[in-house]
Chain A
Amino acid sequence: MWEQIRSNRLRSILLVAVMGAFLIALGWLLGYSIAANGIAGVVIALAVYGLLNLVAYFQGDSILLSVAGARKIKREDHPRLYNVVEEMKIASGLEKMPDVYIIDDPALNAFATGRDINHASVAITSGLLQKLNRDELQGVIAHEIGHVKNRDVLLMAMCSVLLGTIVIISYYGSRIMMFGGTSGGSRRSSRSGGGGGGAAIVMVVALLLMILAPIFAQLIYLAISRRREYLADASSALYTRYPEGLASALEKLASSSVPVKNANQATAPMYIVNPFKSRGLKMNELTSTHPPIQERIRILRTMAGNVSPAAYDQAFRQVKGAKSGIISPQAAPLVGAVGIRAASADTTPLEPSEEKITRAREVSDLMYKLDDYRVIDCNCGTRLKIPPALRGKTIRCPHCGRSYQA
């Protein structure tokens, strides 16, 4: 939506281009040292990349959602979540309502996926849905919608496919060179007699690149991922006009140490916080998909009174002590001050414990419903939740002993 996000995309695309250059160099060197044909190597590398990319583009979101065990919900299933998503859809100016998914997992996390802004989905774990009040939920959903709106989902999918291709080609390339290609190459050079020096150098460079390319590509990938997290935080502050919501949600996320059940390395950058957190262990900043949570919270809390992207940028520089911000400086002053809004009602700690219980009950009822449980209200006040396996059988209430036909 904002100009600076577009110019930031340019920077991300530059990093992707470097990764692409790695892939092409790798393909050429491998092709040259295995079959003495660099071009063929490049063509094969690009073909593998193209194929994987097509799969990721058209099937990526459904693969991701089914791997994570996400289930689609309707408005009636959880009105509050659905309303919050719709509010953020309106605030961000998205044209189409994203699909809303829920993941049955006590871990606290959420992610967005979808190849473009018209095929977007937002998923949240039942644990997180239970823990957050309305303002916090809004901050988290706004962060996810920010990913959709900033086109991060497509960018990160492209990047992870690029990284995957580099890893695959390095892996198989090194094996072919060791067990097949090398002997063929030496036979050829011995036949031609001399002149093998050049080929040997290419081979050494190819081997080096095969070892280094996956590492560098991974580091670039992580750098892009962290940058997009900051941007999505800035979008969240802008959409909700209330950075404290996301900050306090992140605080709750930071205090939980339950790792996400069905996350893997490829899906990690999609989540709102790193799904493989290990508490107490300071993650090296270079090797993480996400910026440190505490830092994200500090940045959000530093931008008091103004929620424009420029204010986020200023807070970012202040907290990081960095000269260059996350949002490009030539575009940042264009947006004026954008005021903050007041906290919404249910944030005030009226009856916090009662509210927490209500939220937990809402979510567990929803999970039972999604698992196709039936509910019978017994006359003694007990709610019987009947699993689908017991349907058609007679159930006895454990408290008063009345019998029901399920």
Chain B
Amino acid sequence: MSVVIWVILGIVVILLLWLFGTYNGLVRARITVKNAWSQIDVQLKRRWDLIPNLVETVKGYKNFERETLEAVTKARTAAQGTANAGVGERSKAEGELSAALGRLMVVVERYPELKANQNFLALQEELTGTENRISFSRQAYNDSVLQYNNKTQQFPSNVVAGMFNFKKEQEFLQATESEAEKKAPKVSF
């Protein structure tokens, strides 16, 4: 008789341990998603901070196309304005900023003396790095969402997710901005 009780007790303990483990795993996955989201924020802000420097370096060159520079400055202000707006509106504004920067980099090709400038070369590496950071942080966010969704939907962890009301799906970052952004890295520096 006592053997049966011990066996049942053992099963209960194992079940509880599994429950704790799975719950903690879900919480960890949710935190990862949150962190990945704020990482995108950090990288977008980084790009805003970089732009005044870039504009300052380029502006000094005589005959540099004004409208290209103005477009970048305007797009930056617009993007900053949507900092607290929804995802859709934000990604649209940031996408436009990416496109404006991409155009600037194309125009720069026509100014050989600018391309030879040490400051500008350093700034160009910074810009490439920043664009890459943004797309990699978006990629890391999508990866973390994928993992979180797997956890909340697959058996048996979905049982625990249902019990503690882990939301089933977190929205993927829409690809609207990436269309515009994809063009930026293709510019030949």
Contact = CB atoms under 8 A, between A and B. Distances in A.
Interface of A: 1-3, 79-80, 83-84, 86-88, 90-93, 95, 134, 238-239, 241, 334-336, 342, 344-346, 348, 350
Task: List 3 A-B pairs, minimum CB-CB distance, nearest first.
Answer: A83-B129, A91-B136, A90-B136
A113 to B, nearest CB: 23
Contacts of B136: 87-88, 90-91, 239
In terms of DSSP, what is the predominant structure of the interface of chain B?
helix
A87 B129 contact: yes
Contact of B139 (A3, A241, A342): A241
Contacts of B158: none
A345 B187 contact: yes
A87 B186 contact: no
B140 interface: yes
Nearest to B134: A90
A346 B140 CA distance: 24
Contacts of B128: 83, 134, 344-345
Contacts of B132: 83, 87, 344
Interface stretch (B11-19, B67-75, B142-150, B161-169): B142-150
B104 interface: no
B84 interface: no
B36 interface: yes
B82 interface: no
Given A93-B144, A348-B188, A79 B137 contact: no
B189 A79 contact: no
B39 A90 contact: yes
Given A91-B136, A92-B140, A342 B182 contact: yes
A312 to B, nearest CB: 15
Given A79-B125, A91-B136, A93-B140, A342 B147 contact: no
B98 interface: no
Contacts of A239: 136
A294 B114 CA distance: 42
A90 B141 CA distance: 10
A235 B126 CA distance: 25
Contact of B147 (A1, A79, A87, A344): A1
Given A87-B132, A344-B185, A2 B140 contact: no
Contacts of B189: 345-346
B43 interface: yes
A249 B55 CA distance: 35
Contacts of A336: 146
